[in-house]
Structure 1
Amino acid sequence: MAEILTSGFWEQYGSLLLEGTRDTLIMTVVSTVFAYILGLPLGVLLSVTQPHGILPNRAVNRVLGWIINVGRSLPFIILMVAIMDFTKLLVGTKIGIRGAIVPLVISAAPFIARMVETSLAEVDAGVVEAAQAMGASPLQIIWKVYLPEAKPSLLLGGSISIITILAYTAIAGAVGAGGLGDLAVRYGYQRRVPSMMLVTVVLIIVLVQIIQSAFSFWSARIDKRLK
């Protein structure tokens, strides 16, 4: 392990680690954006169609809940392999960064939907009732009450979602997606270079800490309850 501190190690593997970190960040950021495009509306719809919601609809709520639960139940690596043909049809390849983004989005969107539902459930019912009493439409309540009031919780949920997707990218790397997970498997395991395994793990831990700290700070700054 002492070789990590030598210049020879970084001359040999530095560019690979830099490229792997870049690929991991690209997969994480792009997948998070698209997962939220799908997951945020699903979470809002799941929340407002509950029996006590502003648009109660038991049938819609149950169907959405069932779909989301099925999506959350599938192990990511099984999902990734199962939809490879669909992934190739959609983005033209089964491997690499593009090949990983499709299953990452499909896997993360149901998780994000549940996170959003939980965040919206924390909004004070009195604020919602006041908005309804003033004649606000359901869409206005969602945009001007639910989402602004739940913003601190949504940010904390966002950090959990991003970290989860980051962990999924490491799994995706094991089946040809690239990134730090790919380096850990190819060099740390297959070529028996334990130093590479250690460095990739440390880099992932550092990324997680940065994401968690940034979102916790941001959430605390905008949380009116802490002012």
Structure 2
Amino acid sequence: MIGRPGKRILVVEDEEDILELVEYNLSREGYNTEGVTSGEAALKKFKISSPDLIILDLMLPGLDGFEVCKLIRKDPKTEHIPIIMLTAKGEEADIVTGLELGADDYITKPFSPRILLARVKTVLRRKAKEEVSEDSILEIHDVLIHPGRHEVQVGSRKIDLTSTEFKILHLLARRPGWVFTRKQIVDSVHGDDYPVTDRSVDVQVVGLRKKLKGAEDLIETVRGVGYRFKE
């Protein structure tokens, strides 16, 4: 097994059997892991040394995962560290809240170790790449997006988009695979105080998909959470 020197993962999980399962599978893949069972213990570890990634259970005793995520994102020294949330299956509200607090991805319990490892690899790969500049031309899945010209092409066909549709497409395409909640989309496109509902975002996406005929499946719906651009 090829190791991944320097890739340190902190696992925060209060259920010992799940903690052992996660650590065992990550170690087999060559990651250096350390496990703690509370939010307070996780924050103490961060003061000593920052890991490359944190797997964070939301329902922790004392300081819960939401508060831990919020504190990590507020500190300039740790705000860049990717976070994968662990959450109970079907708790859509928790997923939305976690993503809006700054988590990078989520895994619902019960989960497959293979899914866990795939998500870890994907998140670390994303962080390893330099973030695409807002002015950079994007070409992904036969879709060309030119921010400066406000132009979009699917293959050789030019697509006429409204300003809002373009901003939504550009937001999603800049980070393929990332899940954006409806609130994050609204805040990014219009600003925090724009008077628009979640339903309005859904309507915009429906219109955008129609115009992307032949490539409409690239915008994926994450049920109860939001949208992402196909990786």
Greater fraction of residues in helix: 1
TM-score over 0.5 for the alignment? Answer: no
Alignment TM-score, normalising by the size of structure 2: 0.25
Alignment TM-score, normalising by the size of structure 1: 0.25
Higher RCO, 1 vs 2 (CA within 8 Å, ≥6 residues apart)? 1
Greater fraction of residues in strand: 2
